[in-house]
Amino acid sequence: MEKIPHLDHHHHHHYHHREQPVPTKRNGRDFPSDDGDYQSGFGNSFESEAISGALPRGQNSPLLCPYGLYAEQLSGSSFTSPRKLNQRSWFYRIKPSVTHEPFKPRIPSNEKLASEFDKTNSRTTPTQLRWKPMEIPDSPTDFVDGLYTVCGAGSSFLRHGFAIHMYTANKSMDNCAFCNADGDFLIVPQKGRLWITTECGKLQVTPGEIVVLPQGFRFAVDLPDGPSRGYACEIFGTHFQLPDLGPIGGNGLAAPRDFLVPKAWFEEASRPGYTIIQKFGGELFTAKQDFSPFNVVAWHGNYVPYKYDLKKFCPYNTVLFDHSDPSINTVLTAPTDKPGVALLDFVIFPSRWVVAEHTFRPPYYHRNCMSEFMGLIYGGYEAKADGFIPGAASLHSCMTPHGPDTKTYEATIARGNDAGPYKITDTMAFMFESCLIPRICSWAVESPLLDADYYQCWLGLKSHFSHEADVKSNSV
């Protein structure tokens, strides 16, 4: 019987165990590690203060704020967006963000970033594409320099579209913060924890968790485990929300209470030469200031960074026959104006029981009006026996056929109907799915990591057709 994808024990510990514990400090303060160090909820209006009484009461912008702080609003939506879509937060900070020197183009720039996609920087192909994992560089590389765009569609200037990035890094950001003016980041670490300091407070994000950093937030990424790798998608002009559950009812999939938001934390010390790196139109700019942007003593609002542990996802599955559409595994969705059509869905394929009778259980063969980018955090993926390993990526664009490889198909058929229920264990694959057709960055098409032999995994699929009456057919 074919081995169901899983992570062997030696490999498993790679994600949950470090030989040398690293002290959980940034600038002398602990990083939160357990759920008790966060606020919880999705779409809530939160408030948090690092010093009691720092939040003004009864109004947002008093003439004099408590403790001599400045009030500053960060808007994540237009002022007149419908209330259920309106996102903004108020910060009470030691100095306002505006106190900086003019922005200048960053040198060196990062030539592998894009936020609008056309023939000047990207190509198009309907061929199925797969990339091998990127090696983590030996030279010192932080999150900003290690970020690179694989594909995308639309334009950050026009506020509609998305970009899919990956990152490899090995050093913490030093005396600088990153601010993405183009869109929201959803980051999926695959190797190495991220310690992320934001204006709302601090987040520890472990492989198997995701973090969303909304447009405009300043943040810094520390790498306590050193070598680090992962995936990121970026959406322009909208924000993620929880999918509607329809007939599932009020519970299941990702629960609002499992989304975690930081508590207020600030640093007061002078920081000469501190650099704000702004991603604006896909280009990087820098501005110098003499203080940390993480000087927010108190804040309130519903525009916040947050994290989510994918192990807390409650999967639903077919319990009698056929294979559920992957939409049943949607964690977060970024909607378009068309009902039910996503600018970007974030979908996972977690450990779960597989029980369908008389059914081809792996994903079905498919041609899709949506485009699908897949990654693997750990373990194996049920539709690909070989070649798709943790840190790898694949892209099956609009109307490009895809499905299980030959080895998976033959092994599934050979098992027959007596396979019985079994559990897919120790695996976490994911998909970014979009209604827009992605263009692929030129460097990614030319990359030596592009698997030129990917198509061969289907070449062995042979005809089983026979004109004889099929006595073996086992439809319900």
What is the rounded CA–CA span in Å between residue 124 and residue 153? 11
Nearest C-alpha neighbor of 122 from the set 452, 453, 436, 457: 436
Look up the CATH number of domain 312-453. Answer: 2.60.120.10
Residue 313 has pLDDT above 80, yes or no: yes
The whole-number pLDDT of residue 382 equals: 86
Confidence at 3, pLDDT banded by 50, 70, 90: very low
Q: Is 381 labelled a binding residue?
A: yes
Residue 12 has pLDDT above 50, yes or no: no
Residue 17 has pLDDT above 60, yes or no: no
The whole-number pLDDT of residue 16 equals: 37
Which residues of 355-444 form beta strands (DSSP E)? 371-378, 393-396, 422-434, 439-441
- β-strands 270-280, 25-26: how paired? unpaired
The whole-number pLDDT of residue 468 equals: 84
Residue 141 has pLDDT above 60, yes or no: yes
- The torsion of the CA quartet 82, 83, 88, 92, rounded to 10 degrees, works out to 150
358 is catalytic: no
The whole-number pLDDT of residue 475 equals: 64
The whole-number pLDDT of residue 6 equals: 41
Counting Cα atoms < 13 Å in the Cβ hemisphere of 104 gives 9
The whole-number pLDDT of residue 19 equals: 36
Tokens of 41: 């909820």
The C-alpha angle 21, 430, 404, rounded to 5 degrees, equals 125
Asked whether the CA dihedral 150, 154, 157, 159 is positive or negative, the reply is negative
Tokens of 389: 């390993």
The whole-number pLDDT of residue 36 equals: 75
The whole-number pLDDT of residue 326 equals: 96
Residue 51 has pLDDT above 50, yes or no: yes
The whole-number pLDDT of residue 395 equals: 98
Cβ within 8 Å of residue 148, ≥6 positions away: 110, 112, 113, 165, 166, 167, 441, 443
Of residues 266 and 19, more confidence is placed in 266
Residue 250 has pLDDT above 60, yes or no: yes
Cβ within 8 Å of residue 64, ≥6 positions away: none
Domain 101-293+302-310, CATH number (from 2.60.120.10, 3.40.50.720, 3.40.50.300, 3.20.20.140): 2.60.120.10
What is the rounded CA–CA span in Å between residue 285 and residue 277? 6
Whole-model pTM: value is: 0.93
pLDDT digits (tens, 9 = 90+) for 187-211: 999 999 999 999 999 999 999 999 9
What is the rounded CA–CA span in Å between residue 409 and residue 412? 5
Among 160, 323, 464, 467, which one carries the catalytic annotation?
Answer: 323
Residue 18 has pLDDT above 90, yes or no: no
Q: Is 402 labelled a binding residue?
A: yes
Tokens of 278: 């702004």
What's the mean pLDDT in 455-469?
93
Confidence at 432, pLDDT banded by 50, 70, 90: very high
Residue 401 has pLDDT above 60, yes or no: yes
Residues in a beta bridge with 105: 285
What is the rounded CA–CA span in Å between residue 275 and residue 286? 6
The whole-number pLDDT of residue 204 equals: 97
Confidence at 387, pLDDT banded by 50, 70, 90: confident
Tokens of 17: 């165990």
Residue 472 has pLDDT above 70, yes or no: no
The whole-number pLDDT of residue 30 equals: 76
pLDDT digits (tens, 9 = 90+) for 73-125: 999 999 999 999 999 999 999 999 999 999 999 999 999 999 999 999 999 99
Confidence at 31, pLDDT banded by 50, 70, 90: confident
- β-strands 296-301, 283-291: how paired? unpaired
What is the rounded CA–CA span in Å between residue 347 and residue 344? 10
Residue 173 has pLDDT above 80, yes or no: yes
pLDDT-above-70 percentage for the chain: 92
What's the mean pLDDT in 63-79?
98
Contact between 424 and 5 (Cβ < 8 Å): yes
The whole-number pLDDT of residue 284 equals: 98
Identify the weakest region by mean pLDDT among 9-18, 43-52, 127-136, 399-408: 9-18
Residues in a beta bridge with 347: 330, 431
Contact between 113 and 283 (Cβ < 8 Å): yes
Q: Is 372 labelled a binding residue?
A: yes
For the chain, domain boundaries:
101-293+302-310, 312-453
The whole-number pLDDT of residue 383 equals: 81
Residue type for 146, please?
A: G
DSSP state at residue 157: T
Q: What are phi and psi for residue 461, nearest 5 degrees? A: -65, 115
What's the mean pLDDT in 372-396?
93
What's the mean pLDDT in 242-268?
97
The whole-number pLDDT of residue 27 equals: 46
pLDDT digits (tens, 9 = 90+) for 163-172: 999 999 999 9
Cβ within 8 Å of residue 470, ≥6 positions away: none
Give CA separation, 308 vs 5, 7, 17, in Å. 24, 22, 20
Residue type for 274, please?
A: Y
Cβ within 8 Å of residue 408, ≥6 positions away: 2, 362, 382, 383, 384, 385
Q: Is 165 labelled a binding residue?
A: no
Mean of per-residue pLDDT scores for the chain? 92
CB count in 10 Å sphere of residue 405: 23
